Structure 1
Amino acid sequence: MELFNPQQFENDAGTNVFRDALKRGHEILNERFQANENASNYVLQRALLIDQIVLKIWQPLCSVPKNNTIVLIAVGGYGRGELHPHSDIDLLILSESAMDAEMQNGIENFLRFLWDLRLKVGHSVRTLEECVQEAADDITVATNLIEARLLIGDEPLFQSLQAAIAPNRIWSHKNFFAAKIEEQTQRYLKYNDTTCNLEPNIKESPGGLRDIQMIGWVAKRYFGATTLHDLVQHGFLSEKEYQTLINAQEFLWEIRCHLHLTTKRNEDRLLFEYQRILATAFGYEDDDAGLGVEKLMKRYYRTAKEINTLNDMLLQLFQEAILYANAPAKVYPLNKRFQVCNDFIEVTHDEVFVNYPFALLEIFLLMQQHPKIKGIRAATLRLIIHYNYLIDNVFQQDLRARSLFFEIFRQPQGLTHVLRRMNRYGILAAYIPAFGKIVGQMQYDLFHAYTVDQHTLFVVRYLRRFSLAQFHQEFPFCSKRMQSIPKPELLYLGGFFHDIAKGRGGNHSELGEIEALNFCKAHGLSDNDARLVGWLVRHHLLMSTTAQRQDIDDPDVIKTFAQVVEDTIHLDYLYLLTVADIRATSPDLWNSWKNALFTELYQKTYTILEQDKGHVLDKELHIQNIKKKARRLLLNDADNERISALWKELGDEYFLYSAPHNVAIETQAILNHSNPDIPIVLEREGVKGGTKFIMITRERDYLFAATTYFLEQHNLSIVDAYIVPTQGEYTISGYTILENNKSPGKPISDILQELKQALESDEPEFDIIRRRVPIHLKQFTVPTQVTFTQDHINNHTIIEIISTDRPGVLSRIAQAFVSCEVRVKKAKIGTFGTRVEDFFFITDYNNQALYSADKLDCLRDELARLLDEDVPKKQ
């Protein structure tokens, strides 16, 4: 069936007629695509449809004068004859010389008519001389012209253009290749040089369609190739590699077609809001094996890795053919299996991997040991990819292979670089099957920014940076602790295995410990070393959860943590792994507040383990020490009795949260305060990027609700809070708030003054905060979960609340506490992507733990009502 019959428009060039034809043509294409999902047919047939429309419009509107030669040329993707549903239509109108007014008017009418049809047309109108000059000045223009396709007009003029932009005239083979390599390098940097971003651009990201186009551009420029299959004829691709490339292109084309049809625009970003829709379109469903969207994305990441690998190999082949074709070969041997040729490592003969399978690991170790090696020669790379099937059970038990793999982790340089290569070429997945299961595995949330395998390699990368002098200023304390690590390779192994059991179900830390122990024992590590690596994997979340979910001002919490850690060596290893793990989870996750929090936990634990040699931290002695130091700072002996009386009223818990200088300042402020109805608000010594402040007020049932409402109204993030009822008329509240890109312009001191004024009211107003929910949050809803735990020792109830993050969520929780007559003693606020995980230590108004079923039911119901109200709906 012909999509568009030019004959029916010979006597009618009306816009509506063409619109109807275009609409019908697109409907037919969409119907065909929905029926068989053949993206190749779609993009080729849409280009044919547009050809017919464009040519039919061109003929009556552009009558060419006898003294002027002009041609209409398709360039870019349209020049290749490939148009996705909403791709731009790039046209070049080329004339031999300057156009007269009649011709300019005709071209304007032609373009206007295309725009009236709502076609997205990119165009340029140039003379031959202008076109050649633009191409000489701009590699992008030159690249577009390489794919030029004559639509209509004077063929000799088109051929003159082709001749004028040939490599012997502009952009020699060498210069063109160098420019395109630099262009790709810069493009990769925009996407963190990884195929594994969770919202990839399927066209521009590493491993995207642009990587395939890159191969085509170089092939066309150097070989005069017209199709990718020509590279098979030239011996640059095997038939199997060609088929892999075409299958990958078809998959990405299918995604792109679905994206364009779903969004009704030229959208190449595979955003969260489209991933579920596309997963359904591809037939992926949620089941015990995982979410349908995760299955789709795993296929995408593995496809992108295949493209990235072939792109790497082919560009290396091109480099050798183009840049080094006439260069004298500088060859020197490394051993009987490998040599270096023009700074690239290669096998000494094609049977190396067949005769010595362990050489599949040896080559990467040699690259670490000889840092001047720039890369792997393409022919050798092809052999690595082809022969990685030799990495089987026999290979994994080969002592030489085990020694080589472990030695890679012990090298002083190049670890991250070779691990990335080994992952890209499938070596890691083959040698460690458990790692193969996490390749391309995503977690469909906003907390984890990368796939599990990419995150793992980033963890190792950040651990390595702690040991390198050029990065000491990034994390000085981590770099200092790194110097005390006796065996860094054990830390790197802990990082490598920490998430290796993700996605299996069950506790991934416990399952990962088993994998790590088996690996270490198989590779000849001592029992002590193996146990350390296994311990790191099992407890890699311990420091994070302790710091962010427990009260590290409580000596009992520190004591319990220290008992698990056991010694300062384990503490150093765990601290460094924790920091690297958080940094590698998401670029925006680490902040100065977390830095201060983990450093504080480290130092308190170190004190117990090192200075006290494991003695139990006594809470009463700790409080007495704080009081003694604060008393020295106060100096005024005349107030001793008043100070003692006040401190008795404040109770012991206040001193657990206060440094001696804070106690001195706040004691003086209370003693000098004449009106207890007016709150005292004092800023404490803060953390970089955040502020700590304390409030001293009369006890009020709504205090926590009013305070959180006020702070959240000012777009401030509360990360820590505690409320200590005293024996007297005061209640002491402490908050830590973060100053981030959502912070207001006014100084924190002004905001705290306004808070003080707001709390002076007998009944301050507070309500549900309603603001626009960011679009990302609408894709991820977390069912509200409320869990109660009774702490009999401290006589309070711990409530864990998991819910969807959105503006004002903490204020909603606080209002539920007011409704159910619950008092907050301590709060630990945590947000992980769109998931809120908050812990509250609560009592009733008599400061007793909550044992009443009615009270607990009230809380559960009220929290569900307030937190599930206006929950963003998935799009």
Structure 2
Amino acid sequence: MIDRQLLDLDALDHELTDTANVTPILQRALREADDTLSARFLDGEPAFKLVPLRAAVMDAVVTRAWAICLGEFADSACLAAVGGYGRGELHPGSDTDLMIIIPTPLPEALEARLSDLVTRLWDIGIEVGHSVRSVDDCVFQAKRDITVATNLMESRRLAGNASLFHAMEEATSPYQLWSGPDFFEAKWAEQQKRHERYHDTAYNLEPNLKESPGGLRDIHMIGWVAKRHFNAGALSDLVDLGFLSESEYEELIQGQHFLWDIRFALHGLAGRREDRLLFDYQADLARQFGYKDTEHTLAVEQFMQRYYRMIKRLSRLNEMLLQLYQETILYTELDEKPQLLNKRFQIKRGFIEVTHRNVFQRYPFAMLELFLLMQQHPEIRGIRAATIRLLREHRGLINNAFRRDLRARSLFMEIFRQPAGITHALRRMHSHGILGRYIPAFAAITGRMQYDLFHVYTVDTHTLMVVSNLRRLSVPEHRDEFPLLSEIHSRLPKPELLYLAALFHDIAKGRGGDHSELGAEDAYAFCLQHGLSRYDCRFVAWLVRKHLLMSMTAQRRDISDPGVINEFAGEVGDRKHLDYLYLLTVADIRATDAKLWNNWRKSLLQELYRRTTQALRRGLGQPIDQDELVAEAQHRARELLRHKGLHHMTVRSIWRHFTPDYFLRYTAAEVAWHTEAIHAAGDAAHAPLVLVEPEAARGGIEVFIYTRDRGNIFALAVSALDQLSLDILDARIITTDNGYTLDSFLVHPPAGGDDPADSAATIRETLLAYLEDPQTLPEPATGTTPRRLRHFNTMTQVDFSDDTRNERTAMELIAGDQPGLLAQVSYTLARYGVRVQNAKIATLGERAEDVFFITDDANGPLDSATRQRLRSELLSAFDDDSDIMRRGDGV
């Protein structure tokens, strides 16, 4: 029954006697009803009450349009609601899915009336999704497409010929096509494909609350199978059928209502159908649902954590129910004798189950033993649904007493020491709510997101991906992916220590303070409680405390500087610490965002590992000597050039003005490449020399410039590369003793851009055009900020420090990423006569974190006045007045 305040049907029918104004009358009635529903929602009325009301309003509008448009033909065809509308569910922006069942043959006059109906509905403002089918068409399409069969199964007659509707129902029933077992298998396969399409995780930055795992589609899936095979009219019937307990049903309905509330609000904010929780709406949704920023957690993070936790619970229910369906629908005829594993567990039909219902009550530690047995018996396909339910019912027994139980502690550590199945065991434990119970700190990070573009996954998902990445290194079949890392992993004395460090490395995120320090304390206490030696406890804690050290050193410091290598080697201390840290670092970066891992980062970390290994081999008391490194680099480069036919005196003549910095920062192969090109070019004073290597060893496109030094060469080059939409990953600038500059840039083309080999000529021509007139420095171009970046506000920071060893200044810039940022920085530096000697460029999601090693025009450190002017100008260029201050938690 429709509330008269929402839609007065008597008054509406009276108005519709004015047949000349049918469209505006229905249009106004629908608009006013939608406005009333939106107002009631904003006043606190839940969506589960409003969604059926909107469907009822739509019924009233559509059926009246049907009667008016079809007139005397109203009973010649049938109008049915399908899809969500067929279920009686209609959100503000949802399509109104209709099916018109027609007789055969179709009279021309009826066809014209139906065309008028569809046009009229669009004119009213209804987003119509419609199909026109005969009963035979329905059968043909349903037989070919399980989605069509599902829509027909959910259809609801609105108006017109009831016989046609019943004929369609009969012709597409389970007795005619898509029997219960066939329907179940097809829908399960469909769900698996859908989950894969959404990366098999609901934890992406902008999840789809309908299609992602744990979303509304998973709830629909439960209902579809229940209706098709068990003739259930509603989800509540699953309680009577024994598939759901009362508490599980309540959990399922609460989850659906929560997702409906979000979807209703999302459609209102977007003004259209929108099922993706885009950054455009997340903060507004958080405010609308009453969340407020706290000292350590933003309102949007709290809101999204609630969302992620809810869909995790729904995913668990979906998995359990589908397995119950599978056992009932597909395996009910099978009578297989169980295979006994021990007195608590057995295998039946490939699934592990308890031997009796009281196992977890009498032996709580068996809740961990279950996962260990699955590791030891890889032939086990999963956990029986009844045992999953018992796990859910008894996991409350995992308390402090359980955690102190030596049997539980031994079982947990045994899981980590197994040769295979660790990742699967942890994921299953997490999926069924056991891991968070056993480690309460892990429960705190479950579903926790960080409102940025850098951390693509929630902290719990990321953590388990780190463990997975590490475990993959131990699998012989995957050895070719990362040969060096796999070789290092193979010689680890205790790989379980590495996995424990991975499990705890981010466990303290969101508490405030340094998550590395807090996590190290947690890790040490946990390891001590689980019987590890104090040395191993300290070692795991060290890995957690230092898990960002290697990535920060490689990406933010000049690792060509022997002093930096010696300092890092001193922090690491020995080869064992270096090996474990190297593996953890790579696994961490790869699990943060797949796009972060590229040949550039790989080469950086590999170079840092190689140089640190050399330093440790020499001994910390004998630090690497710069002159020794320069001599070694020159010797290797000479050998390469000798094979290319260059006389040693020719090489010496070219090198005589090169500083030691040059030979420290470039590999022997790069030095040989530059030297050969400079020799071939002859007198470079007349024109700049530009080299482009499309497939550089460091990953990306290597660009090398050799020309007369000018104060703005760096700014010109950056502007040219920015003009080509190339992302600069690294910049190295060397000034020779005779007034030349050797500048190198490692760049990446934009996604979907030209083939690097094809773009090499364009890069060279553009750079030469910019360098032709080095006195003219064009204003940096500005572009449109991409949608995703617009929703983040990063406080700009500019900090200076003294690099006394190299007689230069280090300037660190943190700012919101934006088009032309690096060009703007280089332009500003050039105007102040500042020379860039080296640059480390890093874009981490929405944040640009760049480090510039700079000098004044006399190649000395910057004075305090210049620093202050630079800081003021850069802050004014990039800062904004946002009240959202982001935190930098690193990887």
TM-score, with structure 1 as normaliser: 0.95
1:693-713 deviations in Å (ceiling 9; x for gaps): 332222211111111111111
CA distance in 1, matches of 2:869, 2:379: 68
CA distance in 1, matches of 2:869, 2:516: 36
CA distance in 1, matches of 2:630, 2:866: 34
Contact 1:195 1:207 in 2 (8 A): yes
Q: Which residue of 445, 461, 482 maps to 2:489?
A: 482
In the alignment, structure 1 segments of 5+ residues that lack a partner are none
CA distance in 1, matches of 2:880, 2:251: 49
Instruction: Report the equivalent of 2:858.
Output: 846
The structure-2 alpha-carbon separation of the partners of 1:101 and 1:531, relative to structure 1 and needing over 3 Å to count, comes to same
CA distance in 2, matches of 1:583, 1:637: 43
Instruction: Report the equivalent of 1:492.
Output: 499
CA distance in 2, matches of 1:700, 1:216: 72
Indicate the RMSD between aligned Cα atoms, in angstroms.
2.4
Instruction: Report the equivalent of 2:683.
Output: 674
SS of the residue aligned with 2:811?
strand
**Alpha-carbon shift at residue 302 of structure 1 (Å):** 0.6
CA distance in 2, matches of 1:762, 1:128: 76
Instruction: Report the equivalent of 2:221.
Output: 214
SS of the residue aligned with 2:129?
strand
- Answer yes or no: is 1:22 the counterpart of 2:33: no
1:613-662 deviations in Å (ceiling 9; x for gaps): 87421111111222344445556999877865764532221221233454
Amino acid at match of 2:224: W
Instruction: Report the equivalent of 2:242.
Output: 235
Q: Which residue of 801, 808, 815 maps to 2:813?
A: 801
Instruction: Report the equivalent of 1:112.
Output: 119
Amino acid at match of 1:863: L
Contact 2:710 2:774 in 1 (8 A): no
Amino acid at match of 1:755: L
Instruction: Report the equivalent of 2:49.
Output: 41
**Alpha-carbon shift at residue 327 of structure 1 (Å):** 1.5
Instruction: Report the equivalent of 2:557.
Output: 550
**Alpha-carbon shift at residue 802 of structure 1 (Å):** 0.2
CA distance in 2, matches of 1:873, 1:616: 45
SS of the residue aligned with 1:605?
helix
Amino acid at match of 1:858: R
Per mean C-alpha deviation after superposition, the further-off stretch among 624-633 and 506-515 is 624-633
Contact 1:197 1:450 in 2 (8 A): yes
CA distance in 1, matches of 2:792, 2:419: 42
Q: Which residue of 757, 766, 770 maps to 2:782?
A: 770
Instruction: Report the equivalent of 2:187.
Output: 180
Amino acid at match of 1:200: P
CA distance in 2, matches of 1:59, 1:358: 67
1:176-203 deviations in Å (ceiling 9; x for gaps): 1101100100000011111211211000
CA distance in 1, matches of 2:752, 2:129: 39
Tell me the number of residue pairs that the alignment of Structure 1 and Structure 2 aligns.
872
Q: Which residue of 789, 792, 802 maps to 1:790?
A: 802
Contact 1:812 1:867 in 2 (8 A): no
CA distance in 1, matches of 2:646, 2:290: 80
Contact 2:795 2:880 in 1 (8 A): no
CA distance in 2, matches of 1:670, 1:28: 76
- Answer yes or no: is 1:8 the counterpart of 2:17: no
Amino acid at match of 2:709: E
Q: Which residue of 591, 616, 629 maps to 1:584?
A: 591
1:438-837 map, 5 Å: 438-610=445-617, 615-632=622-639, 647-664=655-672, 666-667=674-675, 670=678, 673-683=682-692, 686-687=696-697, 689-741=699-751, 743-744=753-754, 746-837=758-849
SS of the residue aligned with 1:825?
strand
**Alpha-carbon shift at residue 90 of structure 1 (Å):** 1.4
SS of the residue aligned with 2:159?
strand
Contact 2:138 2:172 in 1 (8 A): no
Contact 1:75 1:144 in 2 (8 A): yes
SS of the residue aligned with 1:710?
helix
CA distance in 1, matches of 2:41, 2:590: 43
The structure-2 alpha-carbon separation of the partners of 1:336 and 1:668, relative to structure 1 and needing over 3 Å to count, comes to closer
1:330-389 deviations in Å (ceiling 9; x for gaps): 311111111111111111111111100001111111111111111111111011111111
SS of the residue aligned with 1:171?
coil
CA distance in 1, matches of 2:327, 2:350: 11
CA distance in 1, matches of 2:234, 2:641: 84
SS of the residue aligned with 2:233?
coil
The structure-2 alpha-carbon separation of the partners of 1:209 and 1:567, relative to structure 1 and needing over 3 Å to count, comes to same
CA distance in 1, matches of 2:39, 2:669: 75
Contact 1:4 1:53 in 2 (8 A): no
Contact 1:575 1:602 in 2 (8 A): yes
**Alpha-carbon shift at residue 472 of structure 1 (Å):** 2.5
Instruction: Report the equivalent of 1:307.
Output: 314
CA distance in 1, matches of 2:737, 2:719: 27
SS of the residue aligned with 1:598?
helix
Contact 1:795 1:849 in 2 (8 A): yes
- Answer yes or no: is 1:855 the counterpart of 2:866: yes
Q: Which residue of 48, 61, 66 maps to 1:53?
A: 61
Instruction: Report the equivalent of 1:331.
Output: 338
Instruction: Report the equivalent of 1:428.
Output: 435
1:283-298 map, 5 Å: 283-298=290-305
SS of the residue aligned with 1:841?
strand
Amino acid at match of 1:857: Q
Instruction: Report the equivalent of 2:888.
Output: none
Amino acid at match of 1:804: G
The structure-2 alpha-carbon separation of the partners of 1:647 and 1:303, relative to structure 1 and needing over 3 Å to count, comes to same
Amino acid at match of 2:829: F
Amino acid at match of 1:832: L
CA distance in 2, matches of 1:861, 1:536: 39
Contact 2:210 2:275 in 1 (8 A): yes
In the alignment, structure 2 segments of 5+ residues that lack a partner are 886-891
**Alpha-carbon shift at residue 690 of structure 1 (Å):** 1.3
**Alpha-carbon shift at residue 473 of structure 1 (Å):** 3.0
Per mean C-alpha deviation after superposition, the further-off stretch among 716-725 and 169-178 is 716-725
Amino acid at match of 1:778: R
CA distance in 2, matches of 1:821, 1:91: 69
CA distance in 2, matches of 1:217, 1:633: 69
Amino acid at match of 2:99: L
Per mean C-alpha deviation after superposition, the further-off stretch among 150-159 and 515-524 is 150-159
CA distance in 2, matches of 1:375, 1:638: 67
SS of the residue aligned with 1:723?
strand
Amino acid at match of 1:653: D
The structure-2 alpha-carbon separation of the partners of 1:338 and 1:669, relative to structure 1 and needing over 3 Å to count, comes to closer
TM-score, with structure 2 as normaliser: 0.94
Per mean C-alpha deviation after superposition, the further-off stretch among 678-687 and 551-560 is 678-687
CA distance in 2, matches of 1:537, 1:638: 51
**Alpha-carbon shift at residue 273 of structure 1 (Å):** 0.9
Per mean C-alpha deviation after superposition, the further-off stretch among 604-613 and 831-840 is 604-613
Instruction: Report the equivalent of 1:192.
Output: 199
Contact 1:593 1:738 in 2 (8 A): no
SS of the residue aligned with 1:320?
helix
Contact 2:615 2:624 in 1 (8 A): yes
Amino acid at match of 2:687: I
CA distance in 1, matches of 2:39, 2:774: 67
Amino acid at match of 1:178: E
The structure-2 alpha-carbon separation of the partners of 1:217 and 1:499, relative to structure 1 and needing over 3 Å to count, comes to same
The structure-2 alpha-carbon separation of the partners of 1:233 and 1:554, relative to structure 1 and needing over 3 Å to count, comes to same
**Alpha-carbon shift at residue 413 of structure 1 (Å):** 2.1
